[in-house]
Amino acid sequence: MIAKVIVTPKPVVNDPQGNTVKQGLASLGFREVSDVRVGKYIEVSLDAPSEHEARQRVEAMCQQLLANHVIEDFHFEIEHEGRHQR
């Protein structure tokens, strides 16, 4: 199974990297961009006896290491045998 994890700054957290990207896009003529948030994309391959167990393990990984729950939100999807599941 493959877990595809997306970690983003919480809406109330200042995102200086996002602001820099937004300014860069504006300077390139993309003035329609009103906001940019920069986060992390993480793929984790894991062996688990079931999708339920995989979800529990990935949730624990995110809570303990992959995301800082104080300033970041996360969500993930599990792919199993070529199928895409949320």
Instruction: Record the pTM.
Output: 0.84
Examine the pLDDT at 86 and tell me if it is beyond 80. no
Residue 69, helix vs strand vs coil: coil
What's the CATH number where 78 sits? 3.30.1280.10
Higher pLDDT: 30 or 83? It is: 30
Examine the pLDDT at 85 and tell me if it is beyond 80. no
Q: Which two tokens stand for residue 64?
A: 């303990």
Reported as a pLDDT band with limits 50, 70 and 90, residue 4 is very high
pLDDT (mean) for 13-40: 97
Domain range for 35 is 2-85
pLDDT of amino acid 83: 56
Residue 32 CA to residue 79 CA, distance in Å, equals 34
Number of domains the chain contains: 1
pLDDT of amino acid 80: 81
